[in-house]
Amino acid sequence: MKTKIKLGAVYAPSRDVVVRKVERDVIIIPFVSGVDDSENEPYFLNTTGQVIWQRLDGFRSLKEIVADLAAEFKAPVKIIEKDIIEFVEKLLMRKILIEVSGT
């Protein structure tokens, strides 16, 4: 079930994940106990994913991250916002991210 993503909310990596760098890739391995092992499959971050992941630090809201990336990559806010929402949705479903505070 998809969680509603709030742009004003702050998200952070769950404590129950291990992040490893392999060659150029970053992989995230969740290990939530008591759930099906398929939940423990590693999640591969592509280059865009890595850029967003670095900013999901538990301090900045998604709105701030969107603004930050739009300025850095000179891309339309709407497109970045859509990408970030999709990305955060996936990570929340896999229990890789947690919401720290929501507005």
Using the structure block, give the residue that is written with the tokens 């992989």.
27
9 part of the interface to another protein, by CB under 8 A: no
Among 7, 12, 14, 16, binds another protein (CB under 8 A): 16
CA distance 2 to 92: 8
Residue 20 backbone dihedrals phi, psi, to 5 degrees: -130, 150
Q: Is 83 in the site for another protein (CB under 8 A)?
A: no
Candidates 82, 81, 58; CA nearest to 10 is: 58
- Verify binding: residue 38, another protein, rule CB under 8 A: yes
Residue with tokens 């947690």: 98
Of 36-44, 49-57, 62-70, 75-83, the window that binds another protein (rule: CB under 8 A) is 36-44
Binding region for another protein (CB under 8 A): 16, 18, 20, 22-23, 25, 27, 29, 31, 33, 36-38, 40-42
